[in-house]
Amino acid sequence: MTTNGSVMSAEPISAGRLVLAATPMGDIGDASQRLRDALATADVVAAEDTRRTRSLAKALGVEITGRVVSFYDHVEAARIPMLLEQIESGSTVLLVTDAGMPSVSDPGYRMVAACVERGLPITCLPGPSAVTTALALSGLPVERFCFDGFAPRKSGQRKEWLRTLTSEPRAVAFFEAPHRLADCLADAVEILGPDRRAAVCRELTKTYEEVVRGNLAELAAWSVEGARGEITVVLEGAQKVSEDPADLVSQVELLAAGGLRLKDACAEVSAATGASRRELYDAVLASRSAE
């Protein structure tokens, strides 16, 4: 078990530590006073995009007096030794990304892990997060949730990932690129069914913020028109379903009507519900013969 071994107060950040700071996702008014102070006083500012960070500081009326270095995916590993050396020599290193919280689907995790390994102090200036903002706006039960980063890009991998969510009881938040959203939601309808509820949250905190709520079928139809901006999707947790094969015949028949072989449709419903594949198959045949 590790600990920073100190209690933070309202005083300015002291030297010799890593500071993770959340930055506004769109509305500059979401910047905290602690972020302003940190930008003004840090010895080193490690930024995902140095130009955006300088623009942010200018918009906040803050002058960055420390050294500004880039810290994005492709240079992250190369920058860490230098930043560790700065902290060990007594400097404050402020790590910021383009928007939201560092290390949450953004650079930062490796730097934090390196500081933990060396026993160096780390603190965090909380603030905007697309994940928690989307969860709050979704209108879905989110007392328990998980975050899955970005959905897989390729359809086959995406479908495999979606299958792991068929019986996930927690709400699931994930990011998706706008040009892949329609395909992702179409795959979700196929794997999770048309009735699972979800919310698509677009351009959170920005001028054209939009939250579209509905079931997966409705959202898939809406997304065909195309969506722009940064997108966070919140998927409702799976509802407890009956394991009685007789109650699941309609789900199998729906998949079969969509083109799946009966055995494959039974296998998919079995994986989602825990019902016996063989009993499902027999129940469908019995239902068909009774018609």
Average pLDDT value for the chain = 91
pLDDT at 291: 75
213 and 144 in a common domain: yes
Domain count, the chain: 3
123 and 28 in a common domain: yes
Both tokens of 138, joined, read 């979704």
275 and 231 in a common domain: no
179 and 113 in a common domain: no
pLDDT confidence of 221, banded at 50, 70, 90?
Answer: very high
With residue 47 as reference, give the H or E element that holds it: strand 44-47
Q: Is pLDDT of 229 > 60?
A: yes
33 and 21 in a common domain: yes
Q: Is pLDDT of 136 > 90?
A: yes
pTM over 0.85: no
Determine, yes or no, domain membership for 178: yes
Pick from 102, 111, 107, 21: nearest CA to 72: 107
Determine, yes or no, domain membership for 217: yes
**Residues 29-55: tens digit of each pLDDT:** 999 999 999 999 999 999 999 999 999
The domain boundary, picked from 83, 113, 128, lies at 128
pLDDT at 6: 43
115 and 176 in a common domain: no
Determine, yes or no, domain membership for 5: no
**Residues 165-198: tens digit of each pLDDT:** 998 999 999 999 999 999 999 999 999 999 999 9
Q: How far apart are CA 184 and CA 200, in angstroms?
A: 12
Determine, yes or no, domain membership for 149: yes
272 and 201 in a common domain: no
Sheet containing 145-150: which strands, arranged edge to edge? Answer: 145-150, 171-176, 231-235, 197-202, 210-215
Determine, yes or no, domain membership for 8: no
Determine, yes or no, domain membership for 230: yes
Both tokens of 184, joined, read 């992702």
The domain boundary, picked from 69, 94, 128, lies at 128
Determine, yes or no, domain membership for 4: no
Q: Which residue range is the domain that position 279 belongs to?
A: 245-290
Q: How far apart are CA 131 and CA 129, in angstroms?
A: 5
104 and 33 in a common domain: yes
For residue 156, the domain's CATH number is: 3.30.950.10
154 and 100 in a common domain: no
